[in-house]
Amino acid sequence: MSTRLTTDPAEAAALLRDGGVVAFPTETVYGLGADALNAGAVARIFTAKGRPIDNPLIVHVAEIDAIEAVASALPPVAEALVEAFFPGPLTLILPKAASVPSTVTAGLNTVGVRMPDHALALDFLHACATPVAAPSANRSGRPSPTTWQAVQHDLDSRIDAILQGELARVGLESTVLDCTGAVPVILRAGAITLELLRRVAPTTRHAHAAADALQRSPGTRYRHYAPDATVCLIDAPHHAEAAMTHGYIGLTAPAAPEAWGLCCVCADLTDYAHRLYATLRDADQRGLKTVFCERVPNHDLGRALMDRLRRAAAR
């Protein structure tokens, strides 16, 4: 299969409506979309990514009114969160509508729903005129793609098309929030932080233990976000670690940036999130052995960053 590159959302949408799998940009990371109501098309996403079939997909909608086509109910707290944060980097787990095939939700009776805050993504989703199931557009286990070139690197000739957009603005996957229980529970940290969510839903909490998140969000079970290079978490860059075979990313500027094979000094947490995955992939392109990543405080956006950094470092 040859993978078409296009900047035309209507062309990409036509391929998707024909049962194709099409990568598209969003504000978080690039997604790999298929018609969420076509079980055969959805199955092709799992094949292309090499994704375990027990890991459910997020359904993307172009407008708030389209949520009711995929979710059987919108609890009051979810309605308030939609009002506050849609479109945006937030996925709500809701009771699933019967029309959504079980391949999308990996057999769960819930469905993840998200409306991206990205003009080209919304043009594409409107033109699709159907809900679009989409995981991140990487080979399973690799860092999520923040550029169309990263999608091409992982999935060329395995998917029908790539809708070419800019470098993703946020750079980390959406916050996943379970709204089906007594209180909203964060299953995956993201740019819509606990602090932001509590302004609208004060009882929101993070999933307690690993076991809690693991049970509810199958995706958290797998090793994720890992480049070929070994990822080491550090408190600050030390000159002793600097080498041309090693990369560094963090907030603190190292003493001699030119001593590193790759040196990415970020302006703040937002910039760190924005550049992390592209830097990990860049390190692989350059054949670096190790990437040293500076730890950040584990709150606000730092929580999402530390979650991805720990997973990338886990072997």
Binding site residues, ligand TXA, CB under 6 A = 26, 28-29, 31, 55-58, 91, 93, 105, 108, 110-112, 114, 134-136, 173-174, 176, 187-188, 216-220
List of residues 6+ apart from 238 with CB closer than 8 A: none
**First-residue to last-residue Cα distance in the chain:** 33
Q: How many residues bind Mg ion (CB under 5 A)?
A: 1
Q: In what order do the strands lie in the sheet containing 230-234? A: 230-234, 290-294, 246-250, 262-265
Residue 28, interface with Mg ion (CB under 5 A)? no
- The residues, ordered by sequence, that sit 6+ positions from 67 with a Cβ below 8 Å of its Cβ are 61, 74, 82, 94, 113
CA distances from 229 to 14, 142, 265, 290 (A): 38, 11, 19, 5
Longest dimension (CA), the chain: 59
Backbone angles phi, psi at 301, to 5 degrees: -65, -25
Task: Spell out, one character per residue from 194 to 213, where the chain touches Mg ion: x when CB under 5 A holds, - when not.
Answer: --------------------
Closer residue to ligand TXA (CB): 151 or 262: 151
User: Closer CB to ligand TXA, residue 218 or residue 257?
Assistant: 218
CA distance 291 to 248: 6
Q: Which position's Cβ is nearest ligand TXA? A: 219
Which entry of Mg ion, ligand TXA, none binds 25, CB below 5 to 8 A by partner kind?
A: none
The C-alpha angle 46, 86, 64, rounded to 5 degrees, equals 80
Binders in 3-22 for Mg ion, by CB under 5 A? none
Of residues 119 through 148, those in contact with Mg ion by CB under 5 A are: 136
Considering the complex, what minimum distance in angstroms separates the CB of residue 168 from ligand TXA?
A: 9
CA distances (Å), origin 107, targets 104, 110, 295: 8, 9, 37
Q: How far is the CB of 152 from Mg ion (least distance, A)?
A: 17
CB of 223 to ligand TXA, least distance (A): 12
Comparison of 216 and 274: residue with beta carbon closer to ligand TXA: 216
Task: Tell me if 220 contacts Mg ion by CB under 5 A.
Answer: no
- Where on the chain is the footprint of Mg ion (CB under 5 A)? 136
